[in-house]
């Protein structure tokens, strides 16, 4: 098993990419903390993992709240004795254009997607140090590298912030044995993406930019996270791994 003996905390793991990552990590031997603001769905994921023979526990986590993060990391270390992997996966999207842009929408997206990652890193670093190092995986997006016509500009800005924050963390904590990398999915078949692609014209526009001609699957992103969480990537830090069907290659 590629994660045997490791403990992983995954935010936003009640559904979508986070859920797929939690299930895969558990199958690969990790003890998993399923952390999400969606309590009923998160508990169901953790219970399902446990029934399948995995080791999982649910913790309610609003990534915008520093106290929630501190409690989540404390619970992980108290229950499992350590923390080896943090996956900052929780995120939100938006589809406002032109004069529909609001300060409220901007702040909400930035608070979840950017500040939530910062708070997760801040809470986890001391625990990762006590464990002798570890892996931080920050979920960005291909739209953290380029702009788009069909998402709120705050989404691009927030994911771009995650991209560069990742590199700063990688440099600053490398000597502590802490690696930090970002993952950049393209359109993935998840509940969040379903909300964006309700308009068939928008979906056609997005798919036209993907050389592979389809949306990705959550499991395809989860396997990228598995590589970064495992010792197989022990010399990889500050990198951005793109999982976008070729979008950025054009």
Reading the block at residue 161, the tokens are 């912030």
Exposure letters 217-250 (e unless 16+ CB within 10 A, then b): ebebbbebbbbbbbeebeeebebbbbbbbebeee
Torsion angles phi and psi, residue 177, rounded to 5: 80, 15
Burial of residue 74 (CB within 10 Å: 0-12, 13-18, 19+) is middle
Radius of gyration of the chain (CA): 17
11 contacts 18 by C-beta, under 8 angstroms: yes
Q: Which one from 74, 155, 223, 227 is the annotated catalytic residue?
A: 155
- Block residue for tokens 């589809």: 95
Torsion angles phi and psi, residue 34, rounded to 5: -85, 110
**Would you tell me how many other CB atoms lie within 10 Å of the CB of residue 52?**
11
Question: Is 155 one of the catalytic residues?
Answer: yes
CA distance 12 to 34: 8
CA distance 167 to 180: 7
Which residues carry out catalysis?
A: 155
């Amino acid at each position: 098993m590629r994660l045997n003996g490791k403990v992983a905390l995954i935010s936003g793991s009640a559904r979508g990419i986070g859920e797929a990552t939690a299930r895969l990590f558990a199958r690969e031997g990790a003890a998993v903390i399923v952390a999400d603001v969606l309590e009923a769905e998160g508990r169901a994921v953790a219970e399902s993992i446990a029934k399948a023979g995995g080791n999982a526990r649910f913790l309610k986590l609003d990534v915008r709240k520093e106290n929630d993060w501190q409690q989540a990391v404390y619970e992980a270390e108290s229950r499992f004795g350590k923390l080896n992997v943090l996956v900052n996966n929780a995120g939100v999207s938006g589809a406002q254009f032109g004069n529909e842009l609001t300060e409220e929408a901007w702040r909400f997206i930035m608070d979840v997607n950017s500040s939530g990652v910062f708070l997760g890193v801040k809470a986890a670093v001391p625990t990762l140090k006590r464990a002798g190092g570890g892996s931080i995986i920050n979920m960005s997006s291909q739209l953290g590298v380029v702009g788009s016509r069909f998402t709120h500009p705050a989404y691009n800005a927030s994911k771009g912030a995650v991209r560069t924050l990742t590199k700063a963390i990688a440099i600053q904590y490398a000597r502590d044995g802490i690696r930090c990398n970002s993952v950049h999915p393209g359109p993935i078949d998840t509940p969040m993406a379903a909300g964006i692609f309700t308009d068939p014209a928008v979906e056609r526009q997005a798919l036209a930019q993907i050389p592979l001609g389809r949306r990705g699957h959550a499991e395809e992103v989860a396997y990228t996270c598995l590589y970064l969480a495992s010792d197989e990537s022990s010399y990889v830090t500050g990198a951005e791994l793109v999982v976008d069907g070729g979008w950025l290659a054009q």
